[in-house]
Structure formats: structure tokens, C-alpha cells
Amino acid sequence: MIYSKDYYLGLFNVDFPSLDRLVQTGLSQGGSYCDLFFENTTYGSLLLRDGAVTSGGSHIDFGVGIRVLCGEKTGYAYSESTASQDMLACARSAAQIADSSSPVSVYGTPNPSRGEPNPLADRYPMQMPWRECSMKGFLPFLTLLETKVRAKDPRVVKVMASLAFQVTDVLMYNSSRELKWDTRPMGSVSVTAVFSQSGKTENKSTSRSFRTGAEMLTEALAEEISADVVSGIDARFEAIRPKGGKMPVVMGAGASGILLHEAMGHSFEADFNRKGTSIFADKMGLRICPKGINIIDDGTLPGNRGSLNFDDEGVPGQKTYMVEDGVLTSYLHDRISAAHYGVKPTGNGRRESFRYAPIPRMRATYMESGSAKAPDLIASVQKGIFVDEFSNGQVKIGEGDFTFFVKSGFLIEDGRLTAPVKDINIIGNGPQALADMVGVADDLKIDPGAWTCGKEQSAPVSCGIPTVLIKELTVGGE
Amino acid sequence: MRLDSKEIELARHCLDYALENGADKVRITLTKSLLNLVGVLNGEVDKTSHALDRSLQLNIFADGRYGTFSSNRLEREGLEQFIREAIVTVKMLEKDSLRDLPSQERTVKDAAGGNELDLYDPEYVNMSAEKRRDLALGSMSWPLKDKLEKGFTLVSEEGEYSDSIFDSVTIDSNGLFARHTETSFEIGYEVTVEDGEGNLYSGYWWDATPRLGDLKIADCSATAIERAAAQIGPKGIKSGKYTVVIDSECASKVLTPVLNALGGFSLQQKNSFMDGTIGKKVFPEGLTVMDLPHSRGETGSRLFDSEGVATRDSAIIEKGVVKEYFLNTYIAAKMGMEPTIEDATRVKVMPVGGCRTCKDILEKVKDCILVTGFNGGNSNSATGNFSYGIEGFLVKDGKIEYPVKEALMTGDFLTLWNNLIFAAEDARLCMSKLIPSIAFAGVDISA
């Protein structure tokens, strides 16, 4: 959703002379680059609990972040006011990172046209802009959702459903005199259901999150979410912790892509590689997984939670191949790392809000489909596990070691899915797991859940993967 | 940089304005914080950050309905419009007769000044950009990297020094006025080392304190390097049942889920493995866990919770018996129980077994797995089952043999805590939860 340039200039009460004055102040101590990030975010939320939507609210976050670069060093300050004297004080504070002896790098070519026209693409148009809708109109959706969940499974004892939406206006200007603006929507619906059976309790949560307007709140969405949250509960009540050990692991299509995000994607972020702390720091151009595998970070998927018209440095959103045909071809760059490596920024400079300087972050990270069939991959395993839902993944960037919690899955015995498993961990090493991907199915699925990456700052992302067979990982069990 | 009288007056105006425009009851929390940070990388300043935040949060009760709102745009006219719209929003919601402010009897009476717990360091006002830079750079190991112990090289060293002041005032339409002010000084270093075969290992160490004079800066970087280098040459271990010792840096991992399960939100939603345990002995006789929110000058101490309810020093678990659920006004009303406070504040696990330090425990248990960090994993709030990736060492006869790799610790929290054999007295004061090094018998380790 993109309004006219004047909407953003008026919203933040700035004009070109004032923007130029801020940038000049930021560079006054010898900085080599300065950018301004104005943000106005409005949030709304509703919560259904115990059968009624009895709490909700709205929130406003407004301010400007000013960044000054001096070589690869960053000075950052922000103001919650766009009054001239407050912003100038911030610019002076950020400017202090520089001194007259600092080296100068060039970030982009000066652009006197100030970057117009702005929109290269609008990846998240809103038919029903959140801010133009009454929150009262959203209440029936949550009630319908709860009704559908309860109707689908009599074991449900509690349902908690929430709707959270936000709309963020951003205006960006930099010392190359590029001006960009954007309005980014996000709507997220989450449901947690608690089930009781024969004195035992289980829970399950699911979510959907899109960069879209309130038109997402349809009966079809309520049906989809309610079906999802009750699916697999029989298996959870029956699930066991298997005997642990090293074994083949088949990762189901979709949400298993979080493993790709955590165990590989972070290691491809250029800041870790620039500092030499990533296990992939010296592997550019080398084969890191079998031929035929392509791994992508994509900011261009329409309505996707990770998509961006521009990143938070004003670089156009784009699709970046990190691995092509098994070879590491690109890191994920912000402007600092791109200058360091002498390449173009990949549109991965992202930040949680104006309170943070941008750093390389993922968007929608996924692996392209292969040629195998998912049932064939499962059938090829004598003894292993199939995982369809992970949570709480963690990776050590330097070592490449990762651990993932398996929320649900199945044993594979003689090529068939047998006993359900849960509450176990899978551990492995990122580069080794990539090298051990011996089968990729033709069923890529981008997961629609509300994934949030927590690298220093929170950022909305998404992930996806086709069904993949990894030759061997360590599975923790009894 | 504390809230000034004009800002506090603005909060009072917003409270009155909400009442005049349709709210029945209101609570307002106004916060202000200032943080300055210097980041260093490989011996040089890498980044600086200056962050001033203000926020006004409103809890509005109107026509038997309730909503929460916040804004960081603190111009009076804009706030008045925001409040009018907020009240309209509240009145759209469904009724909930159980929503209410806490009674006056429960709210704090002795927190009007903000520094009653001595959490404000006057030295804060003397901090300068130069001092911060010196503190961040002063104890880095990078300049000495060529003189480090043979067997590894220092690939990268990142550090951050920051100081901040936080000030908040909470008022409500029942006459509450509660203020909390604290300063914080923090240092942390993360290093990556490389062994002779090109393998990378990372280590981290940090300290934080309300008073600059108490900040342990000198050994921070060296400790991070020591922790990274100690991981060189990991080996696999056999799966089985082990005595597990968890050091105080990461021991909160196995207590926090228990505390969360004692929270009213999980209990009321029937999503807690501690449901029905109040007043029952479900832990071993030796386990006592205190909440000590009134510890003067210590990180995490508070006189009141977010509702303005007075905290108090009390037992959460006493000699194995669950003594307290954490119930705010609303959740308590829903559960038909007496409200307490909404969360544990400064938790302390009392000593068990007569060991003062982690080293003492290792000498007592002889053979065990020493856990120094967790890597991923999760727990199930409904069942109490957990599975965590662990980092640490195999210990034989009280001495570290080698670092372990690809190991997992699994079980359920009630069984784990019932196998508690030692709790030392070495909790880190920089943490709000004082969990010392602890040892459990018979823990399942998969590797």
C-alpha cells in the first residue's frame, strides 16, 4: 500500500530542506553516509478468551532513527518527536561516531532526482485498510473462529483466539538524496486450543499472518485455522518419545522450513560472515550441498509476511538466491556488508523499528522444489522419523550446531509412518545437514504462520521447504 | 533524565480526561528511559547508540468493559483524541464484569519517591561518551590476541557497554501513585575462537548491575574467551541416565517453566502442569524457593507490580510445598481465588546439600555432565515435559574430561526437581532470578 509522497512528508512534518539539514548535521563530524528512517506504526489487537472478546486495544509508535556510517562503524540515535530541534539533536549524537581521521566508504551514488518514482512494485495492496475499519467489525470473526474450533473437537476445553494488526508508514532519506516511502500492513490471527482426554491435557497453537488488509478475515480463513488447530490431536495424545540416536529424518513440507531459516539462513547473513564468525565465512562459490538444491531468500512474494517493497535502507525488495545448484552464491546484505564485499545490497537491511539500526535479516526463506515424491522419500527410510512441526530452533553461528524441538511427527518404520512422536529434539550441524540432503520432493510449501525472527531485534519473516530427506541427524528421545 | 513534573502532570491530566470522557476507572503508567550504548569490535569502537523513550499506557475500564492502549506521542491534544478513540474502542468490546482495578488495600503505599530500593546510582549523571568508550574498550582481549594461550586463535571479539536510566510512574483512579526508578550498567563480550583445524567456537560473558561501582568489567572478555576455548575438541557421549550439574549462568532454564506454570494465566487456561498443586507437597522436602523483591540495591527488585500491587518477600515453594500462585486481580477473580501478585519478581532458590559453588558440587558428585549452556529445545506447559540441547562437559572424579557434543537432556520438570541433590550459593547477582548451580540425579541424556 503506497500513498503519495506528500502524505508521508506531511505525516512526519518534514520537507526536502529539513531532510537535507538533518543529513548534513549527521555528516558534520566526517561520516561517510547518513540515512533517516521515519516511522508511524498503529497497532490494534483483540483477544477472545473464555468465549468472549473481552480485551483489546490500540497502540501508536512514532519516531525517526538517524544513522551515520563512518566506514563500517555505525552511530545511531532516534527521536520520538519530529520537531526540528529534537531531530537535529539526534543527528548530532549519531554524528559522533566519526572523527576526521576515519576512512570514507561510498554507499551508493548521489541521486539528485531524490529517487522518484518511488514504487517499483506494491506487494501488499489493501482492499480493506485496517485503519479505515471499525474494530467492532472484527469481533464476529473471532467468535466464529472459536465456534468452529469447538465444533470440530469435543475434547476442546479452552480456546484463546487473537487478532493483531498493524500498519506502518515509513519514509526514508539518505545522503545519496534517495527518498523512499511505503505503507506496510500486517494482519495476524492466532489460536490456541487446550484439549482434555481421560485426565490428560494437550495444547496446540496455530496462526496465519499476511501483509494484507482486513479482507483476510473471511469464513474460509476461520475454517482453515480451526481445522489446523484440531488436526493431529489424536496423535498428540498417543505420541511417544522414541528411542534416541542417529537416524534419517524426513522433514515435512512447509513449517519445517524454520530449520532452513535457523540452521542455514542465519549463517548466510553477511554481517556474521564479514566478521568471520559464520561457519560459511570462507565458502563463497563453493559447493555446500548436493547439485539441484536452490535456497532462496525472497522479499517479493505478494502479501507474504516477509515481503517488502523496500527494505529499511530504501533498497528495493528482491529475490536472492543464496544457494544455486548446490553452490553458495550470495550472502544476505545490508548496505554496510555490500560495501565491504563490493556487491550490491540485496534488500536485506531490516530493523524492528526506528529504535534500531538496520542489519542483514531474512525475509521469506525457502528451498525450491526438487523432483522426488514425498511418499517415495518416506518409503526409502527403514528406521527414522518424519517431522511436520518444529519450534524453538537455535543455532550457533560459528560452530553451525543447531537444535530443534519437534512438536509433532511420526516414527518411520520400514518405509511407513507409524507411531506419533512429540516433545523431542533434533540436533545437527548446518553444513553437514545441507550436505546430507539426499532427497528433495516437488511439493514446496511456504508456511503461512506468524514467524518472527529474533536476531538482536524482532522482524516478521516466513519460511518454507518441500519435503526433504536428510541422511542422518541426532534425535533425542528416552 | 527522570520524569519531570510536567510529564507527571500530563499523566494526571490524561487520567482525569479519560474519566471525564466516559471511562469508569483508569490506570496510567508513564515511562521514560534513556540508554547509551557503545559497541566495540576487534579493538575498535564499532557503533554507538543513544535512545530516549517515553510511553504512556492506559488501562481503561468503561461500562464493564476493558482495554489497553499506549502511545509515545505525548502532545496533550493528540493524547486527548487518542483517549477519546480508546474509550470508543473499549465500549465496542464484550462485557467482562470481573475486570477491575486492585483494591486500595493491596496497592503499594511506600513507593512515591521511586528510589526506595536504592536502585538509582547518582554516578549515572557523570557518565560521558569518553567514559563509555573507555569502559567498552578497556578490558578487550583483542590487543593481546597474539599472546593468548596456544591452541587457538581469536577470530573475533565483539563487546557492548551500556548504561541506562528507567523511570516510571503508575497512577490510577483509586488514588494510587507509585514510582520506580533504576539505573543499570551492563557489559558483555562475545568472542569466536578457531582451533588448529579451522573449527569455530563461540563464547559469551556479561555482567549487569544497578551501580557502576559493582560492575565486574575486568574479567568479562577473558571469561568469554575461556568459555569459547573450553569447547574445543568436543566428543560424543553415550546416551543414558546421568547426574547433571547445571551451572548458575543457565540454571534458570529449568526453573522458569515451573514459575510460568504457577502463573494465573496458564492455570486459568488449564494449560499448566502445576494446576491443582497449591498447598500440596509436590517437590522434595529440601526445596525452598523464595521471592525476595525487596532486596535493596539488587537487580530486579521492585516494590509493586504492573497493577501497582505491593510486592512482599514470601515463599513460592517451602520445603517442597507450593505456597503461591501468581494471580493478578482479574485472573484471581476468574479463578475464584484471592489475588496475589502477577508474577514472581526476584526469585531465590535456597541452598541444598551444603555446597557453596559449582566446583564444590562437582567434587561431591564426582561423575556427571556439567551443563554450561542450552542450545534450543522447548518444554510443554501442559505436561511439563521438556527436551533441551545442552552444551557442557563430561566430568570424571570431579574433574572436567572433555566438552560434549550433540547431547540432549529430556524429562519432565516435576520428576527433575524431585531428583534435586544440590543447590549451591553461587547465583549470579546480575540476574533477576537467583538460581545457583544445581544438581539432579538420574537425568536422561540422549547423544
In the numeric block, the cell 521469506 is attached to: A364
Residue of A nearest to B192 (CA): A277
Q: Which residues of A touch B407 (CB under 8 A)?
A: 427
Residue of B nearest to A97 (CA): B48
Percent with pLDDT over 70 in chain A: 95
pLDDT for the residue numbered A106: 46
Per the CB < 8 Å rule, is A424 touching B410?
Answer: yes
| Nine cell digits for residue A177 | 538524496
How far apart (Å, rounded) are the C-alpha atoms in residues B126 and A397? 38
- Mean of pLDDT over chain A: 92
Q: Which residues of B touch A93 (CB under 8 A)?
A: 50
Question: CB distance from A472 to chain B under 8 Å?
Answer: no
**CATH 3.30.2290.10 domain residues, chain A:** 5-236
Identify whether the C-beta of residue B362 lies closer than 8 Å to the C-beta of residue B395: yes
Question: CB distance from A358 to chain B under 8 Å?
Answer: no
pLDDT for the residue numbered B221: 94
For the entire predicted model, the pTM comes to: 0.91
Q: Which of residues 205-234 of B touch A (CB under 8 A)?
A: 231
Contact partners, residue A37, CB within 8 Å, separation at least 6: A64, A65, A66, A67, A170, A171, A172, A312, A351, A354, A358
CA angle B153, B159, B165 (to 5 degrees): 165
Per the CB < 8 Å rule, is A90 touching B50?
Answer: yes
How far apart (Å, rounded) are the C-alpha atoms in residues B324 and B333? 16
Among the partner-chain residues B39, B129, B385, the one whose CB lies closest to the CB of A423 is B385
How far apart (Å, rounded) are the C-alpha atoms in residues B409 and B444? 6
Identify which of B36, B206, B6, B188 has the alpha carbon closest to the alpha carbon of residue B125.
B36
Residue of A nearest to B390 (CA): A403
Identify which of A323, A415, A406 has the alpha carbon closest to the alpha carbon of residue A370.
A323
Architecture of domain A5-236: 2-Layer Sandwich (3.30)
Identify which of B243, B406, B372, B404 has the alpha carbon closest to the alpha carbon of residue A404.
B406
Give, for all 447 residues of chain B, the pLDDT tens digit: 899 999 999 999 999 999 999 999 999 999 999 999 999 999 999 999 999 999 999 999 999 999 999 999 999 999 999 999 999 999 999 999 999 999 999 999 999 999 999 999 999 999 999 999 999 998 888 988 888 777 899 999 999 999 999 999 999 999 999 999 999 999 999 999 999 888 899 999 999 999 999 999 998 999 999 999 999 999 989 889 999 999 999 999 999 999 999 999 999 988 899 999 999 999 999 999 999 999 999 999 999 999 999 999 999 999 999 999 999 999 999 999 999 999 999 999 999 999 999 999 999 999 999 999 998 778 888 889 898 889 999 999 999 999 998 888 989 999 999 999 999 999 999 999 999 999 999 999 987
Among the partner-chain residues A73, A78, A393, the one whose CB lies closest to the CB of B46 is A73
Mean per-residue pLDDT for A12-20? 96
Contact partners, residue A239, CB within 8 Å, separation at least 6: A408, A419, A420, A421, A422, A423
Mean per-residue pLDDT for A267-288? 89
Identify whether the C-beta of residue B117 lies closer than 8 Å to the C-beta of residue A84: no
What stretches of A245-379 adopt beta strand conformation (E)?
Answer: 245-251, 295-298, 319-324, 327-328, 349-350, 359-360, 364-367
Question: CB distance from B276 to chain A under 8 Å?
Answer: no
pLDDT for the residue numbered B148: 78
Q: Which residues of B touch A477 (CB under 8 A)?
A: 410, 446
In the numeric block, the cell 569466536 is attached to: B192
End-to-end CA distance of chain B: 52
How far apart (Å, rounded) are the C-alpha atoms in residues B268 and A160? 12
How far apart (Å, rounded) are the C-alpha atoms in residues B87 and B15? 12
In angstroms, the separation between the Cα of residue B54 and the nearest Cα of chain A is 8
Per the CB < 8 Å rule, is B406 touching A245?
Answer: no
In angstroms, the separation between the Cα of residue A332 and the nearest Cα of chain B is 20
Q: Which of B33, B191, B271, B275 to probe by mutation at the A interface, max A CB count within 10 Å?
A: B271
Question: CB distance from A57 to chain B under 8 Å?
Answer: yes
Q: Give the tens place of pLDDT for each residue, A238-260.
A: 998 888 788 999 999 999 998 89
Among the partner-chain residues B74, B199, B377, the one whose CB lies closest to the CB of A403 is B377
Q: Estimate to the nearest angstrom the gap between the alpha carbon of A296 and the chain centroid.
A: 13
Q: Which of B1, B72, B128, B164 to probe by mutation at the A interface, max A CB count within 10 Å?
A: B72
Question: CB distance from A137 to chain B under 8 Å?
Answer: no
Cβ atoms within 10 Å of B175's Cβ, excluding its own: 8
Q: Which of residues 146-175 of B touch A (CB under 8 A)?
A: 155-156, 158
Q: Which of residues 361-390 of A touch B (CB under 8 A)?
A: none
Q: Give the tens place of pLDDT for each residue, A51-78.
A: 999 999 999 999 999 999 998 899 999 9
How far apart (Å, rounded) are the C-alpha atoms in residues B310 and B307? 9
How far apart (Å, rounded) are the C-alpha atoms in residues A138 and A216? 11
pLDDT for the residue numbered B90: 97
Q: Which residues of A touch B199 (CB under 8 A)?
A: 399
Identify whether the C-beta of residue A289 lies closer than 8 Å to the C-beta of residue A323: yes
Q: Give the tens place of pLDDT for each residue, A88-119.
A: 999 999 999 887 445 445 455 555 455 555 55
Question: CB distance from A244 to chain B under 8 Å?
Answer: yes
Contact partners, residue A225, CB within 8 Å, separation at least 6: A145, A189, A191, A206, A207, A208
Backbone CA torsion sign across A350, A352, A355, A361: negative
Question: CB distance from B73 to chain A under 8 Å?
Answer: yes
User: In this predicted complex, what is the ipTM?
Assistant: 0.88
Question: CB distance from A133 to chain B under 8 Å?
Answer: no
Question: CB distance from A319 to chain B under 8 Å?
Answer: no
Question: CB distance from B131 to chain A under 8 Å?
Answer: no
Residue range B5-229 forms a domain whose CATH class is alpha beta
Mean per-residue pLDDT for A375-387? 97
